[in-house]
């Protein structure tokens, strides 16, 4: 989602204070153009990528920053003032062009090139094809000077060639587009370019031979590759493999924290807490502290562990009968064959719950909708067996 915020900004040239709309966040969905213009929704934020002072006309991505020392003289030039007025161009294009003039005067051809390209994008949006062509030629010239000064538009091997080829092709200079794209493809033999860049370069050659000046996307270049069907099939197979692996991982995690896993774990621990119940005075809070280490050792989802500890704290449930009743109530959610395999543990849990039928009934009712793989704790909403949680007094041994 794209969002904007209003900010008060003091101009870095004249100091004039003004409230401007500033891009706060955005995202993108889809394939970028061959000149790397972002897809929607970031595509629609172009107007927010340049600011213009309403007092002095200083243009920059952020006019709150002080410009290069050459900015004052450049802003006084007739060409700058004329461009600032627009001369029929979209305001975003004219402001980008003014920013580019300032960067060029500051001997920053790379940033000046991006300013010219973004001015071309603004003209594309306004169907100003003649102006867009001129700005692309200007961008290509500035990028060329930047590359000569070892200021590469992209670090990715061959990507700068792909960008330059697209600029010249969109401007109708098909010979230059073929030359640059071919030079980029030579890099493949010298050490390689990644597959997407290679697709873009080959597609530029194809489009240039067709004398195509239209906008095309990186996705179109990939789909035009000779081995695209095989690549797409391989990608689909990999996606299926990843989906299956994720499903298997989710199934393992669900099993790890399932009621069935709780029964197994509780059965293995039962002999460790079948001794005498609490001795001496013990309030509900102390009982909750006593049961917590046991709950932490059991494979329980955090929510279920919190529910059980909260019950002990709220109603003073004694620890050993609570664990026994929890085991029996959970065991009841398994099928008959599985229940039969825990006969010894079931007898021990029944002994632990002797004299605590209300507690066992209550947990049986709360877990009535759970399954062997899925927890579902639902306190009763009606009168009857298990309808109310049993409360225990804050005294000593209760068994």
With pLDDT > 90 as the criterion, what percentage of the chain qualifies? 75
- What's the pLDDT tens digit per position in 1-31? 889 999 999 999 999 999 999 999 999 889 9
Q: How far apart are CA 227 and CA 198, in angstroms?
A: 12
What SS3 state is found at 91? Answer: helix
Task: Return d(Cα 158, Cα 260) in angstroms, integer.
Answer: 57
The b/e string for 362-389 (b: 16+ C-beta within 10 A; e otherwise) is bbbbbbeebeeeebebeebeeeeebeeb
Q: Tell which wins on pLDDT, 393 or 105.
A: 105
Predicted confidence (pLDDT) at residue 399 exceeds the cutoff of 80: no
pLDDT at residue 386, rounded to an integer: 62
pLDDT at 255: 93
**What is the Cα–Cα distance from 365 to 237, expressed in whole angstroms?**
46
pLDDT of residue 188: 76
pLDDT at 282 over 60: no
pLDDT tens column, 131-177: 999 999 999 999 999 999 988 888 888 999 999 999 999 999 999 99
| 316 and 393 Cβ atoms separated by less than 8 Å | yes
Count CB atoms within 10 A of the CB of residue 245.
10
pLDDT for the residue numbered 234: 85
Give residue 381's pLDDT.
Answer: 67
* Confidence (pLDDT) at 310: 92
pLDDT at 382: 62
* 210 vs 269: CA distance, rounded Å: 76
Q: Which residue has the higher pLDDT, 312 or 282?
A: 312
pLDDT above 70 as % of the chain? 93
Contact call for residues 156 and 194 (beta carbons, < 8 A): yes
pLDDT in tens, 224-254: 998 888 888 888 899 999 999 999 999 999 9
Binning pLDDT at 50, 70 and 90, where does residue 279 land? very low
Q: Where are the domains of the chain?
A: 1-153, 154-226, 257-366
Rounded-to-integer distance, Cα 334 and Cα 2, Å: 49
pLDDT at 275 over 60: no
Bridge-based pairing state of the strands 59-60 and 51-52: antiparallel
pLDDT at 361 over 80: yes
pLDDT, tens only, 305-341 = 999 999 999 999 999 999 999 999 999 999 999 999 9
Measure the CA–CA gap between 171 and 132, rounded to whole angstroms: 8
The candidate with the shortest Cα–Cα distance to 352, out of 285, 272, 282, is 272
Q: How confident is the model at residue 383 (pLDDT cuts 50, 70, 90)?
A: low
The pLDDT of residue 287? 76
Distance between CA 166 and CA 177 in Å, rounded? 7
The mean pLDDT value for 280-306 works out to 82
Residues 6+ apart with CB under 8 A from 182: 201, 205
138 SS3 class: helix
Helix or strand run (H / E) with residue 51: strand 51-52
What φ, ψ does residue 60 adopt, rounded to 5°?
-170, 165
């Amino acid at each position: 989602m794209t969002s904007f915020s209003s900010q008060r900004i003091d101009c870095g040239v004249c100091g004039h204070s003004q409230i401007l709309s500033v891009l706060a966040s955005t995202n993108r969905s889809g394939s970028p153009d061959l000149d790397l213009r972002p897809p929607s929704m970031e595509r629609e934020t172009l107007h927010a990528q340049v600011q213009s002072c309403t007092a002095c006309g200083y243009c920059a991505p952020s006019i709150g920053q002080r410009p290069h020392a050459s900015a004052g003289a450049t802003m006084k030039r007739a060409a700058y003032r004329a461009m600032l007025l627009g001369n029929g161009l979209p305001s975003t294009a004219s402001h980008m062009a003014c920013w580019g003039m300032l960067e060029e005067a500051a001997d920053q051809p790379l940033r000046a090139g991006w300013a010219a390209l973004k001015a071309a994008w603004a003209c594309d949006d306004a169907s100003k094809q003649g102006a867009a062509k001129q700005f692309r030629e200007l961008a290509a010239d500035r990028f060329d000077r930047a590359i000569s000064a070892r200021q590469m538009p992209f670090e990715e091997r061959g990507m700068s060639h792909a960008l330059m080829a697209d600029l010249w092709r969109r401007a109708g200079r098909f010979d230059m587009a073929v030359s640059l794209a071919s030079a980029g493809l030579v890099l493949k033999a010298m050490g390689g370019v990644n597959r997407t860049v290679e697709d873009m370069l080959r597609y530029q050659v194809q489009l240039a031979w067709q004398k195509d000046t239209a906008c095309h996307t990186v996705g179109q270049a990939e789909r035009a590759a000779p081995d695209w069907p095989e690549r797409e099939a391989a990608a689909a197979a990999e996606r299926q493999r990843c989906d299956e692996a994720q499903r298997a991982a989710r199934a393992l995690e669900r099993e790890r924290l399932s009621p069935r896993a709780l029964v197994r774990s509780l059965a293995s621990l039962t002999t460790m807490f079948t001794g005498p119940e609490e001795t001496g005075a013990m309030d509900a809070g102390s009982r909750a502290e006593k049961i917590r280490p046991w709950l932490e050792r059991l494979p329980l989802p955090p929510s279920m562990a919190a529910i059980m500890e909260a019950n002990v704290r709220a109603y003073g449930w004694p620890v050993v009968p609570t664990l026994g009743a929890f085991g029996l109530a959970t065991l009841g959610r398994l099928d008959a064959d599985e229940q039969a395999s825990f006969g010894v543990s079931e007898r021990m849990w029944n002994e632990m719950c002797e004299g605590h039928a209300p507690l066992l009934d209550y947990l049986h009712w709360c877990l009535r909708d759970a399954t062997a793989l899925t927890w579902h704790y639902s306190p009763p909403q009606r009168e009857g067996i298990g309808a109310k949680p049993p409360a225990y007094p804050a005294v000593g041994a209760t068994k």
